[in-house]
Amino acid sequence: MAAIHFKEEQRFTTWWAWLAVIALNLLFIFAIVQQIILGKPFGKNPAPGYVLLLIEFFMLLLLLFLFSIRLQTNIDETGIRYRFYPYQFKATTIAWHELRDAYMRDYNSFHEYGGYGIRYGSAKTGRAINTSASSNRGLQLQFNDGKLLLIGTRKPEEIERIIKEVITSGKINRAV
């Protein structure tokens, strides 16, 4: 069996979320410039300048938070490691022997899991970890205890090739 090595880092790329946060940042920057720098009240009932600054501070934090979100997936001979930063500071490791099955499948994040991130679906779909709608393919893992986990990917062909190798080598015992 050839050496197994897969590494992927995905970022949050949902354009409408980025657009909304950037638009709100621009709105509050405009309000700050107009009210604090130019001295013209912003709106009919303007908030104090410190409130506008405080809101913009939190809007910038939200923008930085969106920028920091990333899903890291690593696959090697020992198993699968994933980390969904900033929610997980340490990677979660899944050894091959913990799995009954692994395969690629199509999925709809909103219909099956209610969105992106670390999501909990029904008993039929299990949990999912994904970052965006740019790919509708994921690595479906079925644990020996029957629980399910789907890890979204933008490189489904690479993972599919690796999973076939792992199953052929007997690292995943489908008979359990």
* DSSP character at residue 96: G
Cα dihedral angle (125, 129, 134, 137), rounded to 10 degrees? Answer: -40
* Res 170: pLDDT: 87
Cα distances (angstroms) measured from residue 46 to each of 27, 39, 161: 14, 12, 59
Against a cut of 0.85, is the pTM above it?
Answer: no
pLDDT at 21 over 80: yes
Q: Which has the closest alpha carbon to 37: 49, 25, 27, 22?
A: 49
* Res 176: pLDDT: 56
Distance between CA 86 and CA 96 in Å, rounded? Answer: 26
Confidence band (pLDDT; 50, 70, 90) for 2? low
Q: What one-letter code names the amino acid at 119?
A: R
- Identify the residue with better confidence: 4 or 91: 91
Q: Which has the closest alpha carbon to 84: 21, 2, 167, 9?
A: 9
Residues 6+ apart with CB under 8 A from 11: 67, 69, 70, 131, 132
* Res 175: pLDDT: 65
Q: How many CB atoms lie within 10 A of CB 102?
A: 26
87-122, pLDDT tens digit by residue?
A: 999 999 999 999 999 999 999 888 888 888 888 888
42-76, pLDDT tens digit by residue?
A: 999 999 999 999 999 999 999 999 899 999 999 99
Provide the CB-side half-sphere exposure for 44 (13 A, CA).
0
